[in-house]
Amino acid sequence: MYDSLKGRFGEFGGQYSAETLMRALGELEQSYGKISEDSQFKKELSNLFKNYAGRPSLLYYAKNMTGDLGGGRIYLKREDLNHTGSHKINNVLGQALLAQKMGKKRIIAETGAGQHGVAAATAAALFGLECEVFMGAEDMKRQRLNVYRMRLLGAGVTGVSSGTGTLKDATNEALRHWARRVEDTFYLIGSVVGPHPYPTMVRDFQSIIGNEVKKQIALLEGRLPDCLVACVGGGSNAIGLFYPFIKDTAVKMIGVEAGGEGLSTKKHAAAISGGSVGVIHGMKTYLLQDGDGQINPVHSISAGLDYPGIGPEHSYLHEIKRAEYVSVTDKEAVDALKYLTRTEGILPALESAHALAHAIKIAPGMKKDKIIVINISGRGDKDVYPVAEYEKEVL
Amino acid sequence: MLNRIDEKFNELKLKNRKALITYLAAGDPDIEATSVLVKEMVSRGADIVEIGIPYSDPVAEGPVIQRAHSRALSKKIKISDIMGIVKTVRKSVNVPIIYLVYFNCILQYGVDKFFNDLNITGVDGIIIPDLPFEERWEVDEFAARHNVHVITLVSPTSENRLSKMLKNPKGFIYCITSLGVTGMRNEFNTDFEHFIKTVKKYTSLPTALGFGISAPEHIRRLKDFSDGLIVGSAVVKKIEDSKNLNEALEKVGAFVSDLKGALDT
């Protein structure tokens, strides 16, 4: 029955949105549908990817790590090397270009760790758009460096103290604001979440990650990888890596959720590993909730993964068992961040460190001719303070 | 089977009067207060009562109603408690009762069970702010089975969608006065005459205007455009500003009387 409904991945996805926003969602769907087939748009976007974001990002063979772990060959997809320091720029350039083509002069965005907010503020500066970023008050404390970066870029940052003061609440506030300013404002969602067409559109823009990996690994190894590992909050870096490989069923795909202080505690953000199916932010998906449908407060050391839901396409890949979803704890993520920094001289974001932590667990058990690709979705400069705080170091 | 909402609008039409619809959030400040506040609103002239089911993430609400939901949830209120109290209220109150509830609450409670319990407890209609026409398939079958009207929300941005949305509406049409979320407003920029006329092209059901209507002068200004007027945040604000239940009853009661006075003059 779901085939007849719009924007569905199996039973997941949909458009559980306020009536006031439905026209804007319809216009977005139409404009995106037209423009995604337009060769001029594709050319402009690929030019921006190359000459502005610095793509393609490297696929780096982690020789030290491979030798140290003694198992499969480890490659790192270096999204941390992109302009603004994470994969978020891919989606932002796509949507900002679309906003410009649609004649919008103003964009809004929600942000958790601030990576999407920084990317959105960057694109706004580049395209001459007005930009307002909604950010949880708690996250503003954790990521004050990024808050100031956004302000330097000319964006307004609006703190959101309702609820838990994190990404979920920033998203609520951005949706409320959009309902008020829907006629002149483009809502630039940062992950594969929200009502249709966002999960599909953001996935398309992020698929550059997997498409590049496919070409790069063919040149380096002459074959497909055996396993892909990526962290999942909303899940845009993961779906960007996975999507081009979905039909290559021999390629194993693993999404790593934020286990916080452990799944047996309530302090985690692992929607698939610890949640159930519900509706949040316009989509049907796995989420962390109680029996009355109230959204549970969630926790992760990584502000970018501190979100109670997950993109609907991940829920679908989980359900059809095409991808596997696991979780790692705050401590494992911090240890992995330190490990990569010492072993390869690469400081990853705490988000990406979740993917690393799981890869560190499974790589030793893999045969030496197996290939594992880990998505380093962002760089860790922004996480120096949170990690120091976690380690009880005073800077 | 006639629904109390239809009966009420028929009755008002015969008297050439408009409906006053007032909102409060269940469990704000506690569940016992809800029962007495509903009765007070009805005795002071509310024609229909709208009860909000408190939700952790009420994306259609402005700050006043958000805070009311937080206050209610901080007391660990459950949907089953609300069903229980409304069942008791129904014994002494005859006006239509409508829930405003976010879809995830219904989904987790169980859609069939939810609508069955609405029928049992005497709730006549339901407004689901995050369930647009495209996703109405989730509830339509169950609502019809249990004789509960799912009220269609229409916004100033709905114009090109109305022919689909208003194919088979029930109860009345909830016309959102302006863009944005719930909350008190000082001015309205919508062309109400055009807005309501457009809605009326597709349906003969009564219309009610809501969002931002917060004072007797708003009622006087808007009452000629529609068959009913909905006041939410301004009622909730009276409750919020009261030190205890007696004060809340007094303030809410006086306010509803004023609104009713403005509507009937």
Tens digit of each residue's pLDDT (9 = 90 or more) over A108-131: 999 988 999 999 999 999 999 999
Residue in A29, A79, A110, A173 annotated catalytic: A110
Q: What is the pLDDT of residues A87-99, one digit of tens each?
A: 999 999 999 999 9
The pLDDT value recorded for residue B1 is 67
Structure-token match 């609104």, residue found: B259
- The tens digit of pLDDT for each residue in A321-344 reads 999 999 999 999 999 999 999 999
Handedness of CA A13, A19, A24, A27 (dihedral sign): positive
> Which CATH number goes with the domain that contains B174?
3.20.20.70
> Number of structural domains, chain B?
1
Of residues A17, A31, A86, A88, which has the active-site annotation?
Answer: A88
Task: Provide the token pair at A79.
Answer: 């999204």
d(CA A15, CA B134): 7
Confidence (pLDDT) at A163 = 83
Residues A260, A329 contacting (CB under 8 angstroms)? yes
Return the bridge partners of A110, or none: A134
When pLDDT is cut at 50, 70 and 90, the band that residue A162 belongs to is confident
**pLDDT average, residue stretch A147-156:** 97
Burial class (CB in 10 A: 0-12, 13-18, 19+), A3: exposed
Instruction: Select from A236, A173, A245, A174 the least CA-distant residue to A211.
Output: A245
Q: Which of B74, B134, B164, B178 to mutate to test the interface with A (most CBs of A within 10 A)?
A: B134
Q: Determine, for residues B179 and A175 on separate chains, whether the beta-carbon distance falls below 8 Å.
A: no
CA distance A267 to A118: 27
Indicate if A110 belongs to the active site. Answer: yes
CA B230 remoteness from chain centre: 7
**Is A134 within 8 Å of A111 (Cβ atoms)?**
yes
pTM: 0.96
User: What ipTM did this prediction achieve?
Assistant: 0.95
Gap between the Cα atoms of A389 and B220, Å rounded: 58
The closest of A87, A149, A92, A98 to A123, measured between CA atoms, is A92
CA distance A19 to chain B (A): 6
CB atoms within 10 A of CB B15: 8
- pLDDT in the model for residue A6: 78
CA proximity to B71, closest of B29, B36, B23, B24: B29
Q: Is there a catalytic annotation at residue A36?
A: no
The pLDDT tens digits of the residues spanning B128-144 come to 999 999 999 999 999 99
How many Cα atoms are found within 13 Å in the side-chain-facing hemisphere of B211?
Answer: 23
Of B254, B265, B243, B211, nearest to B41 by C-alpha is B254
Confidence of residue A2 (pLDDT cuts 50, 70, 90): low
Q: Tell me the H-state helices in chain B.
A: 4-14, 31-43, 63-74, 79-90, 103-109, 111-121, 140-145, 162-165, 192-202, 216-222, 233-240, 245-264
d(CA A316, CA B177): 38
Tell me the average confidence (pLDDT) per consecutive run of 10 residues in chain B, 265 residues long. 93 97 97 97 98 97 96 96 97 97 98 98 98 97 97 95 95 94 83 93 97 95 96 98 97 98 93
* Closest chain B CA to residue A282: B130
> How buried is residue A323: exposed, middle or buried, by Cβ count under 10 Å (0-12/13-18/19+)?
buried
User: Measured between alpha carbons, how far is residue A391 from residues A92, A201, A384, A388 in Å?
Assistant: 33, 39, 11, 5
Residue of chain B whose Cα is closest to the Cα of A289? B108
Q: In angstroms, what is the C-alpha Rg of chain B? A: 17
Range of the domain at B93: 4-264
Mean pLDDT of chain A: 96
